[in-house]
Amino acid sequence: MNLQVQNSSHPLLSCADGVVVRLTDLILVLGRIALAAVFIVTASYGNPTAATLAGHGWPAPEVWSVIARMCEFAFGFGLILGLATRYAALLGIIYVLIASFSAHLWWTYPAGQQGNMYAHFMKNTAIIGGLLAILVIGAGRWSIDAMLSRKS
């Protein structure tokens, strides 16, 4: 089987490009699941808790805790199913930006906590990068979005 792609970015990369082209839909599903897992698992454990939000100065932390977990479940399952995927990615981006700038401003923490908060902030930056890619690319052929677009 010839795995080379004619329009590869570089001849030495053509084999990798060929594999990725053939597995695009599977890779998109795995990427969506990996991104969504972060949020669904976090929400499943009851995070963010009202106590955490209160510690960051949120008003009505009990209400915002429930809203935050509902958002995580909503866009998490949207990503997994490929349902309203671009809206799910956009909601995820907004959610992560809010979380990053309300809880993970690493430079505002005492020296002993800055490394941990820096790791969280940079993890969130990477998650935003993945969500931006999904926002641009969409869910792919293995999604409810694709099934719905074929019926119209």
Helix, strand, coil shares of the chain, percent, nearest 5, are 75, 0, 25
Q: What percent of the chain has pLDDT over 90?
A: 82
Decide if 49 contacts 33 (C-beta within 8 A). Answer: no
Decide if 87 contacts 149 (C-beta within 8 A). Answer: no
In tens, the pLDDT along 129-142 reads 999 999 999 999 99
- Burial of 94-120, coded b for 16+ CB within 10 Å and e otherwise, reads ebbeebbeebbebeeeeeeeeeebeee
In tens, the pLDDT along 71-128 reads 999 999 999 999 999 999 999 999 999 999 999 999 999 999 999 999 999 999 999 9
**Mean pLDDT over the full length of the chain:** 92
- Domain borders along the chain are 11-151
Decide if 40 contacts 76 (C-beta within 8 A). Answer: yes
Q: Which of 127, 136, 34 is nearest to 85 (CA)?
A: 136
